[in-house]
Amino acid sequence: MPGSSPKSQLPLTPAVLYILLALADAERHGYAIARAVEEASSGDVRMGPGTLYGSIQRMLRSSLIEEVPARRRPADDDERRRYYRITTFGRRVLDLELQRLGRLIRVAHDKRLLGGPGVA
Amino acid sequence: MRRMALPERVYRLAMTILPPDFRERYADEMVDFARTRLRAARELGAVAVMRESASLLADLARSAPSLWFEERPFAVTPPQRDDMDILVQDLKFGARALLRRPAFTVVAALTLALGIGANTAIFSLVNAVLIRPLPYKDPGRLVLVWGTQGSQNNQGVVYADYVDWRRQNHTFEEIGALRGQSVNLTGAATPDRLIGNFVSASALRAFGARVEQGRIFTDRETELATMAPVALISHETWTMRFGADAAILGRQIVINGTSFTVIGVLAPRMPTPMFSETPDVMVPIGYYPNAHGLDRGTRGIAVVGRLKPGVTIDAAQRDLQAIEQQLAKMYPTTNAGTGAEVVSLRDYTVGPTKAPLYILLAAVAAVLLIACANVANLQLARGASRARELSVRAALGAGRMRIARQLLTESVMLSLVGGISGAGLAFVMTKGLVALLSPLMPVYPDTIRVDGVVLLFALVVSLATGILFGLPPAWKASRTRLTETLRTRIGGGLHVRTRNSLVVVQLALSLALLASAGLLTRSLLALEHVDPGFDGENLLTAQFRLSPSKYDSPDKIWSMFERTIAEIRALPGVESAALVRASPLSGNGESYPAMVEGRPAPRAGEAPLVVVNPVSTDYFSTMRIPLLAGRDVASTDRTGTLPVVLVNRSYAERTWPGESPIGKRVKFGDDDWRTVIGEVGDTRHYSLNESQLLEAYIPYAQRPQIFTSLVVRTQGTPTDMVKPVQQAIWRVDRDQPVWRFRSMERDLAAVVSSSKVSMLLIGLFALVALLVAVVGIYGVLSYTMAQRTHEVGIRIALGADAGRVRRMVIGEGLQLIGVAVAIGLVASLGAARLLRSQLYGVAPHDVVTFVVVSVALAGVALVACYLPARRASRVDPMVALRSE
């Protein structure tokens, strides 16, 4: 949204971060988002419909994502399904959040907190 | 369609814990989602289904609170914006919205300006009279003390009692005595009559009299034993009568025939607590002209006190009461049954104006409420046409609260525009009010003005107004189901119920105002039709007081009076003339306890009080008071002849019911026994709305007093005779001042004028209210009808005739009017209770008034309904159907 800085959105909640990630490479409908999140987190993050659509509503309001206009949807898809895609603003926010997380990882790495595989 | 599985149904049911908006938008997809999950689980067995169901329900329960929470205003608009940003944006947007509809904005702002202006103007009056402190040093501690006698309150105080109070009290920092009395100032170009105050030094200290030159009195100068002929003059007297004489201090002036030395000039406009007018001159209380005035047993002085810090009125009252009880034991003949009553100076000064002012304030507030309802209605009408605009904004991401806030900002902006214009109007209206009301208010007219406090009031009222009329539309907007509005083609019927309620409120309030105005009008009419008992037309009155040092015996006084009245009767243009000690409606008069010969003496304080008035011959014929029995005062009734008295009808009927009073003997106070020689008609003495007093008239010659009033029946305009009458008196004594020349007709008119002013104002408010309310009901019905053009068109196309359509519309109007009248009548009864103290000759629940105003209101409102009804009945079905 014009006038508000992407920084003010940080840090993102896990749900929002995962949804943004899921939408970063494709337009998806609700259930598809949940599936993508589940896959990306290797089943760790399993969103219920309430959490999912609640997050979607919030993200729509803060313009992180937007609904895809109807005519661009695949022709044979269920009419009721709404497709969502990430906005430019959402992309900036995601970018900033990933940079932030990257810095955290680097710090942890430098402090040798991140062991190799197998280290608890 | 496939039957819905049980878990799915449970899930749908469980979803009701989510906000309806959210559900409406996502329910289908969520159910889809849940179904897919459940289907997958079913392949893994019953346990998996159970686990999945539980997890789905838990998910709902987890997300519900935050979803509801986001419906709250503060969490509405992520990304979070600065409050100031929002305000600036709202203000810009509001200004644009208002400018886009100039007609609405002007009408609404004008309505509000009128309402706020009128409230501000009335408040400037309330502020000057009731809120601003009295013009004395530390006025909260100032009190007045009255004497009480038996069951009678508000009596003057006995000077000797005051002396004991002053010596023995524990609660007063200062307590002083004063007495107002006009005085003769002689030795100047023409003899003059001044407003005089006879005071003790302690009284001056009590209320904090300030001098601009010289000093105030010392205790020594005002004690009876050591009193000195010193005088204080007012700043105004100094400049107007003494030409601001620089050498005024030490100058000798002659007051009531005695020479006084001026020792001080009071600060400009220094009032004394008891009397509304600034006294022209003050002298020590010992110089009070009536020699008996300060004796024990004679009431008449006023007492002003300053309480010690922290002392309550009750404590002071108990203190003085205890002293009074002791005095009663010491002086049983004079002090039995007497007491003291302490009242705050504030109550005394502003008490009588409190009720009328609050009534005016309530009336004008009602007008503002009606105006608010009207603007709210206009807003709602706009709101309906704006519904789509708002829905679009909502769809673009504006939260409900954000939109409500926007609308509220707009309302407040509008009310501030109204308030600013209103404050401007208030300046003008306040000027008008001062001209109309200031003679009735206990403050200087120029203190009634629009000042900082008043402007602050206007600001607060404007803000409150804006919020008040802005809330219904904002509330509506926050409640509107946006998706619904987007789907329907028009926002028709959206706010009808709210608008109807607002119209009902308007009409009901108008009815209450109309009823109040009606009651006041009836009261005024009753007052104007009171028979004063005499004929006030072509009647001139005046007062004069002889100098006690020059006229020091009853013979001298009476011979002066006799020569004067003879001179006046001889004047061309004078039909007849007479002397009376206290003419009706002059405020003068003396009451005494009466005894009847042959009947046991009543106990102290229980004897009937009779207004005893000395009159000369021809008084009754001059006043045209009928002589009902016996004879009039004759020139042979003099000192030394049989003491006689005439009684009025009420006194005669009360004392000797069914008997002739002639020949009976009565006694007033410690006067002689007097034989009743005649019975005359009743008159109103102090005011027109008093209950009938018992009156007695004694021949002036049998009890000459230095103070007298003159009544002259003239052939032409009474005031034309002022000069000749004055000359006639001066032919008898060229040093004799005469004052208060008045036309009785004018005095009679003045008595009703205060009632007239409040009636006119309330009447004006009521009319404005009615007008606004009628415009309101007209607007609502027109609007609803416009929304229903389509429906009406169909009805007409299906054969409904014009009359039927009209009846339908009027029927709807009638429902509103009926509800409004019912509520309004209840409100009217409440208003009438407030008015009770202002009513005369009409009950607060006067049925006639209530019926008349209800019918009038309903009639006017029906006319307002008729116009939209007629328009509706003329709808051309083809046009109506095509327009949709």
Of A3, A4, A48, the CB nearest to B55: A48
Is the pLDDT at B252 greater than 80, yes or no?
yes
Classified as helix, coil or strand, A10 is coil
Of A53, A83, A98, residue with least CA distance to B63: A53
Which residues of chain B are at the A interface, by a Cβ-Cβ cutoff of 8 Å?
18, 22, 25-26, 28-30, 32-34, 36, 55-56, 58-60, 62-64, 66-67, 70, 77-81, 85, 397, 399
Q: Which residue of A has its CA nearest to B70?
A: A58
Reported as a single tens digit per residue, the pLDDT across B758-789 is: 777 788 888 877 877 777 777 777 777 776 77
* Inter-chain CB proximity A4 and B79 less than 8 Å: yes
CB-based contacts of A88, cutoff 8 Å, min separation 6? none
Confidence of residue B74 (pLDDT cuts 50, 70, 90): very low
Q: CA–CA distance from B149 to each of B161, B337, B493 (Å)?
A: 13, 6, 70
Query: Which pLDDT value is given to residue B699?
Result: 92
Where is mean pLDDT largest: B59-73, B179-193, B218-232, B344-358?
Answer: B218-232
Of B338, B307, B334, B315, residue with least CA distance to B325: B338
Reported as a single tens digit per residue, the pLDDT across B781-797 is: 777 777 677 777 787 78
Structural contact between residues B242 and B231, judged by C-beta atoms closer than 8 angstroms: no
Q: Which residue of A has its CA nearest to B26?
A: A53
Which residues from chain B sit within 8 angstroms of residue A82, using beta carbons?
29
Is the pLDDT at B620 greater than 90, yes or no?
yes
Range of lowest pLDDT (B201-210, B332-341, B665-674, B714-723): B332-341
Of A4, A49, A52, the CB nearest to B81: A4
Classified as helix, coil or strand, B314 is helix
Query: Which pLDDT value is given to residue B79?
Result: 47
> What does the block give as tokens for B350?
């502003």
> What global pTM score does this model have?
0.61
Which residues from chain B sit within 8 angstroms of residue A48, using beta carbons?
55-56, 58-60, 62-63
Reported as a single tens digit per residue, the pLDDT across B201-220 is: 888 888 888 888 888 888 88
Which residues from chain A sit within 8 angstroms of residue B66, using beta carbons?
54
Classified as helix, coil or strand, B734 is coil
* Inter-chain CB proximity B80 and A49 less than 8 Å: no
Reported as a single tens digit per residue, the pLDDT across A23-44 is: 988 888 888 898 888 888 887 8
Mean pLDDT over each residue of chain B, to the nearest integer: 80
DSSP B333-390: HHHTTEEEEEEEHHHHHHHHHHHHHHHHHHHHHHHHHHHHHHHHHHHHHHHHHHHHHH
The H or E element containing residue B698 is strand B695-699
Determine which of B63, B88, B393 to mutate to test the interface with A (most A C-beta atoms within 10 Å): B63
Query: Which pLDDT value is given to residue A73?
Result: 53
Is the pLDDT at B820 greater than 80, yes or no?
yes
Confidence of residue B343 (pLDDT cuts 50, 70, 90): confident
Which residues from chain B sit within 8 angstroms of residue A31, using beta carbons?
29, 32-33, 36
Query: Which pLDDT value is given to residue B621?
Result: 92
Of B29, B33, B77, the CB nearest to A82: B29
The H or E element containing residue B595 is strand B591-596
Confidence of residue A119 (pLDDT cuts 50, 70, 90): very low
Which residues from chain A sit within 8 angstroms of residue B399, using beta carbons?
61
Q: How far apart are CA B92 and CA B578, in angstroms?
A: 78
Confidence of residue B72 (pLDDT cuts 50, 70, 90): very low
Q: How far apart are CA B801 and CA B806, in angstroms?
A: 9
Is the pLDDT at B581 greater than 80, yes or no?
yes
> Considering chain B, what percentage of its residues have pLDDT values greater than 90?
8
Angle at B807 between CA B805 and CA B813, to 5 degrees: 110
The alpha carbons of chain A give a radius of gyration, in whole angstroms, of 16
Of B29, B77, B80, the CB nearest to A53: B29
CB-based contacts of B250, cutoff 8 Å, min separation 6? B261, B262, B263
Query: Which pLDDT value is given to residue B153?
Result: 64
